Amino acid sequence: MNKKLLVAAASLALITGCKMENPLLTESPLPYGAPQFDKIKNEHYLPAFETAIAQAKAEIDAIVANTQEPTFENTIEALEFSGRTLDRVSSIFFNIMEADTDDEKQQIAEQVSPMLTDYSTYVSLNAPLFEKVKAVYMKKETLGLDKTQERLLEQHYKSFVRGGANLSDEDKAVYAELSKELSMTTLQFSKNVLAATNAYTLNVTDSTQLEGLPDYMMVLGKETAQEKGLEGWAYTLDYPSYGPFMKYCNSRDLRKQMWIAYNSKAVDGENSNLDIVKKIVDLRIRISNLLGYETYADYALEDRMAKDKKTVNDFIAELLVPSMPYALADVKAVKDYAVRNGFAASEEFMPWDFSFWSERYQEAEYSLNAEQLKPYFKLENCIDAVFDLANRLYGITFEPLDNVPVYHKDVKVYDVKDEDGSHLALFYADFFPRASKRGGAWMTEFRGQSIIDGVEYRPFISIVTNFTKPTADTPSLITHDEFTTFLHEFGHALHGILAQGTYPSMTGTSVARDFVELPSQIMENWGYEKEYLNTFARDYRTGEPIPGELVDKIIAAKNYLAGYSQVRQLHFGYLDMAWHTLTSVPQEGTVEFEKAVLAPYAVLPSVQGAAISPAFGHIFSGGYSAGYYSYKWAEVLEADGFSLFKEKGIFNKEVSTSFRKNILEKGDSEDPAILYRNFRGHDPQPKALMEKLGLTK
């Protein structure tokens, strides 16, 4: 080891030596090295970040200081495995931030975000480091690398170029400042959405105003009011409260209040994101221009399956244009039904009417409603059923663990084992809403899969949802829609659990954004298969299996409002691309820009003061900027892919093994288009989705 390396190592020893009591930095004694959630406190995070960043920088400095000729091993692999401690600290902190935040964590996030951006630019704008990477890249043909190693080299080289390595020193400084500002601004966006969500409560003291709500919603409202110190009943913008309220409350006035509150989150007031949206867009344009791209979409799409904005816009149009007549017909059918059943024909049919009357229409058309199904979807039974599906498809099992701590009492943890009994992963499940958790559902990981110095590290995978909590006299009963959401996130989880590979940046869900939704969306299909539903759906009160005619109704109603739902989802993708194909920030306001973009494809009246963008976390604080189209892109893949299961059998081991080997295990080891062809035998076509949704008649 040369002198510079010895100095770096000695400095690192001093840094880490004074922090040994920090559970984020010490080796975990728990099974498989699980996070020590029982010991981690807020006070540990900032020192852990400071130490981990210093360690990561020392590892980068060691690569740069190495006087040997740059090789794949001493440069590319060394870079790939650098910053492991920082990855661990970041994964734990930011995942807890999403699932169980508090004011102190949010303050810590504001402190560490610029630190992390500084570190990121310390790497990406490190000229001597880039020269070493470039030196290896330029002789790649002579190195005898396998396909995965070639791809890793290619991606590291491209990440430097895309991260500003070829910029002048002056432009590098500008890039670093813009990146730091963008990091802080997206953090503020997310913080405002959560605050705006928690700031609203609908408090009702007259029970007659709540006619139509099912019993469990009355109990939920009463319990929420008691928690908030209010009289009567209280309902929030958390989806398990908001969604059923909009479907079942007879009071049009209360539905209107709730709808406007939900759809004007972060529009105005102290939590407004109107200016922040434009600031994020501006920063992304400036960064993209600096890197040589006309728009942010040009930059973002370069390493995705779609490759460019024309392909994405053509793809959206190919689905949106033929879907519009079906969407308009869906809205007309619901309104006509409403008018036949008491809705005034002279009244404008508004968004807060659609959810309510579409539920009534579904009940009439298919003799089916969400509440009718919930007794058959007790959460505990659904958990067992999802685990059983994974077992039937992939031979894996889930064993509950009581000796691994969790970050909240509601979280459950399982040891996932393969068919041969070997350990695959730890699986954390966090199902219920709380004020400290953001809305929605997602999969994430506390540690990804990798092999370092011959030692394999298996992943720690987590899914987080906001399902209805059990009440004093009713277990947690989820809707069929929530069950398919469970399957969706579990599909992501399987992508992480079954990962096989060496390099952490290329395993599990570390794939192109428009490919990552294939494993999740294909899982939803089983939620509509009689052969599967019959294995577990039982009335929690009597134990009686779900009646066959009810399953037939679920299947028959599968494409209910398919046109409307398709257009709604494409709206989000269309809006995302509108924001991220701009070459300059629009003069008009955020709300006005959004309304102008969406007006040609509106199927319900626009409401003043309502807007999607100020709370559109997927694209303004999540990872889907210029990528929301990915959901529909992956739907095309899964529609085509699941047809093979339908052809061979939904539990066919040959097909599921192929899906595991060619998709779930492969991560980003090959181009996703090749991986898909290896599984399916051909490229997918959008018509597969249109046919699946019944939008081709």
Q: Map out the domains of the chain as residue ranges.
A: 3-166, 200-265, 375-561+631-692
151, 670 in Cβ contact below 8 A? yes
Answer for the pair 443, 509: CB distance below 8 angstroms, yes or no.
Answer: yes
Residue 20, pLDDT score? 53
pLDDT at 622: 87
Q: What strands, in cross-sheet order, belong to the sheet with 412-417?
A: 397-400, 412-417, 423-430, 460-464, 442-447
d(CA 691, CA 612): 29
Q: Under 8 Å CB-to-CB from 563, ≥6 apart: which residues?
A: 323, 324, 325, 326, 327, 328, 329, 330, 693, 695
* Encoded tokens for 362: 């579904």
pLDDT score of 3: 37
Out of 59, 77, 371, 489, pick the active-site residue: 489
- What is the separation, in whole angstroms, between the first and last Cα of the chain? 71
**Distance separating alpha carbons of residues 680 and 605, to the nearest angstrom:** 42
CB-based burial, 606-619: b 16+ in 10 Å, e otherwise: ebeebbbbbbbbbb
Beta strands in 405-489 (DSSP E): 412-417, 423-430, 442-447, 450-452, 455-457, 460-464
Considering the domain 375-561+631-692 in this protein, what is its CATH number?
A: 1.10.1370.40
Low-confidence ranges of the chain (pLDDT < 70): 1-20
Q: How far apart are CA 258 and CA 6, in angstroms?
A: 63
* Residue 654: active-site member: no
What is the spatial distance between Cα 221 and Cα 492, in angstroms, rounded to a whole number?
Answer: 32
What global pTM score does this model have? Answer: 0.84
Cβ atoms 483, 500 nearer than 8 A: no
CATH of region 3-166, choose from 3.30.420.10, 3.30.70.270, 1.10.1370.40, 3.40.50.300: 1.10.1370.40
Q: What angle do CA 313, 319, 323 make, to 5 degrees?
A: 135
CA distance 370 to 316: 30
Predicted local distance difference test score (pLDDT) of residue 522: 97
Q: How many CB atoms lie within 10 A of CB 150?
A: 14
The beta-strand segments (E) located in 513-592 are: none
